[in-house]
């Protein structure tokens, strides 16, 4: 057993890491392939839909970035989701100066509806566009973003286009937690396979950018059909895949910036809400994934330390160096793509540890019905073993 843990396991981890690196490189090629230039034959009407609840610190700059789009045919509809701060007054002032901006006041969700799902379904009812672009109130769009996104959407003949914005991270909680989901998606979900096989596990979707063809969105029931689902983006994407629609994941980190949370506590609570839900509340799969991540990135480090102290006669220092070098590479390449500070690559063991803690907190809070978000009690999920 000792021989396996300190020698053979390291060899197996190296092989696995090489496979993961190939997945990362293939995925990045596909993300950028979707952005290859193609002239637009027309300018379909786009409805940009923004749910906003207590977003006074973000909403003005977000809406202004959307108003400055160099695309000729779009509308912006923002729903104030019963905010208790200055969100609505800020939006009202912006609406007076911009005729393409429409503000609607949301109604309280029914007991069988999640707050954001209900907000988005109300937005969809008011939308006039051929395409529906849902985004969050904490995003910032470059002026050419909409034109570039529509170009990729048309080129790929997609029914849903999504992608990973550049994540602005300031506090240590943000740095350790926010990059984890895009990193894990690019590292362990082969997009070329996800496009061909309707497997729920291979779904990639990011709520900060969800561009739908209206017909596809309506065909799967839209947000109104999601009930109390916490991860509306993944749930809708999974339904589209199951119905045979085409999803495209594109590189958008140069087009959209987002600061999801503004301090460590917000990040901690946000991922407590989302992590277990992202796995569709499948307990055994969830436990396996986070156990494997701990083994993949912590065991080589532990074996190296034990070896340097002279307590691991079976370990091979060269194999350990290769394994840890590959670990750094597996974090470095995605972080370059997503604009994450590169010094965070060196802290990948701490990143894994922080996400392990939040992962188990997420599962515990979900199973014990203790999830709360933006002042609303979330419905207790129906979990399953696998």
DSSP letters for 82-116: S-SSSHHHHHHHHHHH-TTEEEEEPPPPPTTS-HH
Query: pLDDT tens-digit profile of 21-53?
Result: 999 999 999 999 998 877 878 899 999 999 999
Query: DSSP code of 150?
Result: H
The residue ranges of the chain whose pLDDT is under 50 are none
Structure-token pair, residue 202: 């291979």
The span from the CA of 274 to the CA of 281, in Å, is 10
Contact yes or no for 359/275 (Cβ under 8 A) = yes
Contact yes or no for 21/186 (Cβ under 8 A) = no
CA atoms within 13 A on the CB side of 150: 25
The span from the CA of 55 to the CA of 62, in Å, is 10
Query: DSSP code of 262?
Result: S
Q: What is the mean pLDDT of the chain?
A: 91
The span from the CA of 186 to the CA of 334, in Å, is 7
CA Rg, the chain, in Å? 22
Strand partners, 132: 47, 212
* Closest-CA residue to 255 (of 164, 137, 179, 187): 164
Task: Output the pLDDT for position 99.
Answer: 87
Residues whose CB falls within 8 Å of the CB of residue 259, separated by 6 or more in sequence, listed in order: 58, 138, 167, 168, 169, 170, 174
Q: What are phi and psi of 282, to 5 degrees?
A: -95, 105
Task: Output the pLDDT for position 4.
Answer: 66
The span from the CA of 10 to the CA of 8, in Å, is 5
Task: Output the pLDDT for position 198.
Answer: 67
Q: Give exposure, 313-328, as e/b (b: 16+ Cβ within 10 Å).
A: eebbeebbebbbebbe
Contact yes or no for 114/81 (Cβ under 8 A) = no
Kind and range of the H or E run holding 164: strand 160-164
* Closest-CA residue to 141 (of 241, 226, 257, 247): 257
For residues 24, 262, 346, 22, the Cα torsion angle rounded to the nearest 10 degrees is: 0
* Closest-CA residue to 214 (of 273, 141, 130): 130
CB atoms within 10 A of CB 70: 11
Task: Output the pLDDT for position 1.
Answer: 66
The span from the CA of 385 to the CA of 377, in Å, is 24
Residues whose CB falls within 8 Å of the CB of residue 28, separated by 6 or more in sequence, listed in order: 186, 251, 333, 334, 337
Task: Output the pLDDT for position 19.
Answer: 97
The span from the CA of 235 to the CA of 320, in Å, is 40
Burial of 334 (0-12, 13-18, 19+ CB in 10 A): buried
Q: Which residue has the tokens 């990040």?
A: 267
Three-state DSSP at 52 gives strand
Query: pLDDT tens-digit profile of 65-116?
Result: 999 999 999 999 999 999 999 999 999 999 998 988 999 999 888 777 888 8
Query: DSSP code of 263?
Result: S
H helix runs in 213-316, sequence order: 214-219, 232-242, 264-278, 283-308
The span from the CA of 3 to the CA of 118, in Å, is 55
The span from the CA of 12 to the CA of 15, in Å, is 5
Strand partners, 133: 48, 211
Contact yes or no for 240/159 (Cβ under 8 A) = yes
Domain architecture of the chain: domains with CATH: 2-26+280-377 (no CATH), 38-262 (3.90.550.10)
Contact yes or no for 48/110 (Cβ under 8 A) = no
Task: Output the pLDDT for position 285.
Answer: 93
Strand partners, 163: 250
């Amino acid at each position: 057993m000792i021989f396996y843990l300190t020698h053979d396991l390291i060899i197996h981890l190296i092989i696995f890491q090489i496979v993961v690196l190939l997945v990362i490189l293939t995925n990045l090629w596909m993300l950028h392939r979707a952005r290859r230039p193609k002239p637009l034959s027309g300018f379909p009407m786009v409805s940009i839909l923004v749910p906003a609840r207590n977003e006074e610190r973000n909403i003005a700059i977000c809406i202004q970035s959307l108003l400055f789009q160099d695309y000729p045919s779009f509308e912006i509809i923002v729903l104030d989701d019963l905010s208790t701060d200055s969100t609505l007054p800020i939006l009202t002032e912006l609406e007076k100066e911009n005729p393409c901006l429409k503000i609607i006041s949301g109604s309280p969700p029914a007991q069988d509806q999640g707050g954001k799902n209900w907000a988005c379904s109300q937005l969809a009812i008011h939308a006039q566009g051929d395409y529906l672009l849902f985004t969050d109130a904490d995003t910032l769009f470059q002026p050419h973003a909409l034109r570039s996104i529509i170009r990729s959407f048309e080129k790929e003949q997609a029914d849903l286009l999504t992608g990973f914005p550049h994540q602005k991270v300031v506090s240590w909680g943000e740095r350790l937690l926010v990059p984890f989901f895009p990193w894990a998606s690019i590292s362990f979900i082969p997009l070329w396979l996800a496009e061909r096989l309707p497997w729920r596990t291979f779904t990639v979707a990011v709520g900060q950018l969800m561009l739908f063809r209206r017909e596809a969105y309506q065909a799967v029931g839209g947000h109104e059909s999601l009930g109390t689902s916490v991860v509306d983006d993944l749930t809708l994407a999974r339904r589209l895949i199951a119905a045979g629609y085409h999803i495209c994941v594109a590189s958008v980190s140069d087009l959209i910036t987002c600061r999801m949370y503004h301090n460590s506590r917000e990040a901690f609570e946000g991922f407590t809400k989302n992590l277990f839900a992202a796995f569709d509340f499948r307990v055994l799969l969830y436990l396996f994934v986070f156990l494997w991540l701990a083994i993949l990135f912590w065991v080589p480090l532990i074996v190296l330390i034990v070896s340097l102290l002279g307590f691991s006669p079976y370990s091979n220092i060269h194999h350990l160096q290769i394994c840890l070098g590959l670990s750094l590479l597996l974090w470095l390449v995605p972080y370059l793509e997503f604009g994450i500070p590169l010094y965070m690559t060196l802290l990948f063991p701490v990143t894994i540890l922080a996400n392990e803690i939040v992962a188990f907190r997420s599962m515990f809070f979900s199973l014990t019905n203790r999830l709360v978000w933006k002042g609303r009690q979330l419905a207790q999920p129906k979990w399953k073993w696998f």
